[in-house]
Chains A and B, each alone.
Chain A
Amino acid sequence: MLSKTEIAQRIAQELQDGWYVNLGIGIPTLVANYIPEGIEVEFQSENGILGMGPFPFDGEEDADLINAGKQTITALPGAVYFDSATSFAMIRGQHVQLTVLGAMEVSETGDIANWKIPGRMVKGMGGAMDLVASAENIVVAMMHTNKKGESKLLKSCSLPLTGVGCVKKIVTNLAVLEVIPGKGFQLLERAPGVSVEEIQKATAGTLIVEGEIPEMKL
Chain B
Amino acid sequence: MNKVVENVEEACKDITSGVTIMLGGFGLCGIPENAIAELVKKSITDLTCISNNAGVDDFGLGLLLQKHQIKKMISSYVGENDEFERQMLSGELEVDLIPQGSLAERCRAGGAGIPAFFTPAGYGTEVAEGKEVREFNGKPHILESALTADFAIVKAWKGDTAGNLIYKATAKNFNPMMAMAGKITIAEVEELVPAGELNPNEIHTPGIFVQRIFQGETYEKRIEQRTVRTK
Contacts and interface: CB of A to CB of B under 8 A. Distances in A.
Contact of A162 (B77, B125, B223, B227): B125
B174 A125 contact: no
B182 interface: no
A4 interface: no
Contacts of B225: 66, 69-72
B177 A65 contact: no
A57 B231 contact: yes
B230 interface: yes
Contact of A55 (B221, B224, B227): B227
A82 B172 contact: yes
Interface stretch (B42-50, B63-71, B102-110, B195-203): B102-110
B77 A123 contact: yes
Given A66-B170, A122-B89, A84 B224 contact: no
A124 B79 contact: yes
Contacts of B27: 47, 66, 70
Contacts of A63: 28-29, 171, 221-223
B75 interface: yes
A64 B171 contact: yes
B76 A70 contact: no
Given A48-B26, A64-B168, A64-B169, A125 B52 contact: no
B159 interface: no
B149 to A, nearest CB: 16
A84 B104 contact: yes
B104 A125 contact: no
A212 interface: no
Contacts of B172: 48, 81-83
B120 A92 contact: yes
A87 interface: yes
Given A47-B173, A57-B228, A124-B76, A64 B121 contact: no
B120 A85 contact: no
Nearest to B224: A70
B15 interface: no
Contacts of B171: 63-64
A90 to B, nearest CB: 10
B122 interface: yes
A64 B170 contact: yes
A135 to B, nearest CB: 10
Given A124-B76, A125-B99, A64 B30 contact: yes
Given A64-B169, A70-B29, A126 B100 contact: yes
A3 B28 CA distance: 32
Interface of A: 45-49, 54-73, 75, 81-85, 87-88, 91-92, 111, 119, 122-130, 133-134, 160-165
Which 7 residue pairs across A and B have the least CB separation, nearest first?
A: A88-B101, A130-B101, A164-B124, A123-B79, A84-B104, A63-B221, A129-B99
